[in-house]
């Protein structure tokens, strides 16, 4: 695939990260890419993929070595995530596992919780998920109805969740639940449930518009009894605060994925229009083609530089929620627009599933929805205007 930026390299890259980049690229193209079509048909990635990635040291790269992780930073996670996408693997939920679930346990969990769960997540023995969304509750997390009520030494969890990434394979799930339903956001806590619990039921693997190999599931909790030690951290009622603290990183992660997919779509399209001919000349030689790709390349570079700056701010602890919302909203919007233009330049071939641009088109649509809809992102940005 054609590289579209000849003279730009992300300013946060260093020699150590380039070594990881090369290793991750080789791993994903060798171990994952050949199976993508089969995984799409099956509706989920093979469970063995998690173990292979764990053996390669590509899980929980940000987790300290004392808990079995890679001992790196969010930059290491970024390299792994970008190389996964560059290899055409959109459905493997490591971003949720390593960049969302593991940080919750690392940052808010007690020492015994870190020691118990993180090493197993780093090897792929346990796959993590986080259960926020409910059938009637999406971006409004304060409105969750799932409850976790104390009974003796336990919590008893009741409720249902939906659209949960890694839902079919997960071995542990962080459940967003009301430990005090009378307190609104202040009554929300995070409870870790291991999925062999008899009160937990894994629902169906949901059929989706895109990202067909991403297992996305319903979950049900019926008198699911867990010890009070399953509360993430030492204090009830902190769940909403923890969610708000972690959402900027999740939104940055979505923006980073959007940038990689823009770049990939443009590169794939350049290759296509160089080879495809119409009216006796290459499709690339038409002025319209060059103008459309020039616009796309410009916008992709703007997105890359913006997201790189957000990443540097995040590493320095300076990324504010509004800027993260800007990154998530703008890049995912541009991702969809650019991929749409790239599909158009493929002509009828762009509508055929055998061409990667077709799959990228449908996979992109959810980027404007999860992690908080783009309408919510604009609302959060708008609050800074007063």
* Chain-centre distance for alpha carbon 57: 19
Q: Which of 31, 82, 250, 356 is catalytic?
A: 250
Q: What size, in residues, is the chain?
A: 386
- Output the DSSP codes for 249-301: HHHHHHHHHHHHHHHHHHHHHHHHHHH-EETTEEGGGSHHHHHHHHHHHHHHH
C-beta of residue 124 within 8 angstroms of C-beta of residue 245: no
Helix (H, G, I), strand (E, B) or coil at 159: strand
Phi and psi torsions of 263, nearest 5°: -60, -40
Q: Which two tokens stand for residue 318?
A: 């300076």
Is residue 250 part of the annotated active site? The answer reads yes
Q: What residues pair up with 200 in beta bridges, in sequence order?
A: 221
- The count of other CB atoms within 10 Å of the CB of residue 270 is 21
Among left, alpha and beta (phi > 0; psi -120 to 50; other), residue 6 is alpha
Q: Please give the radius of gyration of the chain, using alpha carbons only, rounded to the nearest integer.
A: 21
C-beta of residue 229 within 8 angstroms of C-beta of residue 131: no
How far is the first Cα of the chain from the last one, in angstroms, to the nearest whole number? 46
C-beta of residue 262 within 8 angstroms of C-beta of residue 298: no
Q: Which residues are catalytic?
A: 250
């Amino acid at each position: 695939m054609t590289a579209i930026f000849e003279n730009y390299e992300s300013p946060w890259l260093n020699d150590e990260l380039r070594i990881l980049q090369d290793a991750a690229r080789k791993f994903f193209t060798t171990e994952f890419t050949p199976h993508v079509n089969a995984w799409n048909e099956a509706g989920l990635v093979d469970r063995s993929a998690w173990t292979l990635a764990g053996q390669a040291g590509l899980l929980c790269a940000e987790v300290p070595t004392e808990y079995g992780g890679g001992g790196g930073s969010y930059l290491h996670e970024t390299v792994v995530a970008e190389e996964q996408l560059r290899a055409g693997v959109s459905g493997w939920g490591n971003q949720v596992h390593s960049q969302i679930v593991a940080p919750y346990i690392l940052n808010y969990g007690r020492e015994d919780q870190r020691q118990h769960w993180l090493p197993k997540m780093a090897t792929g023995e346990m796959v993590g998920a986080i259960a926020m969304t409910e059938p009637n509750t999406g971006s409004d997390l304060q409105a969750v109805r799932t409850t976790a009520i104390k009974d003796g030494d336990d919590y008893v969890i009741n409720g249902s969740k939906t659209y949960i990434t890694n839902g079919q394979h997960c071995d542990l799930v962080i459940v967003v639940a009301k430990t005090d339903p009378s307190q609104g956001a202040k009554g929300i806590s995070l409870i870790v449930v291991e999925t062999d619990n008899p009160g937990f039921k894994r629902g169906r693997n949901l059929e989706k518009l895109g990202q067909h190999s991403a297992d996305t599931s319903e979950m049900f909790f019926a008198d699911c009894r867990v010890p009070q030690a399953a509360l993430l951290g030492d204090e009830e009622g902190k769940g909403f605060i923890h969610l708000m603290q972690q959402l900027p990183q999740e939104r940055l992660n979505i923006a980073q994925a959007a940038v990689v997919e823009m770049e990939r779509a443009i590169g794939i399209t350049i290759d296509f229009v160089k080879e495809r001919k119409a009216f006796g000349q290459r499709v690339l030689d038409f002025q319209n083609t060059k103008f459309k790709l020039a616009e796309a390349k410009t916008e992709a570079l703007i997105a890359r530089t913006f997201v790189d700056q957000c990443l540097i701010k995040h590493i320095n602890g300076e990324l504010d929620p509004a800027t993260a919302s800007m990154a998530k909203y703008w890049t995912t919007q541009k991702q969809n627009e650019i991929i749409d233009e790239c599909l158009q330049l493929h002509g009828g071939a762009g509508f055929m599933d055998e061409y990667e641009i077709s799959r990228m088109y449908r996979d992109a649509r959810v980027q404007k929805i999860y992690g908080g809809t783009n309408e919510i992102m604009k609302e959060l940005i708008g609050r800074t205007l007063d």
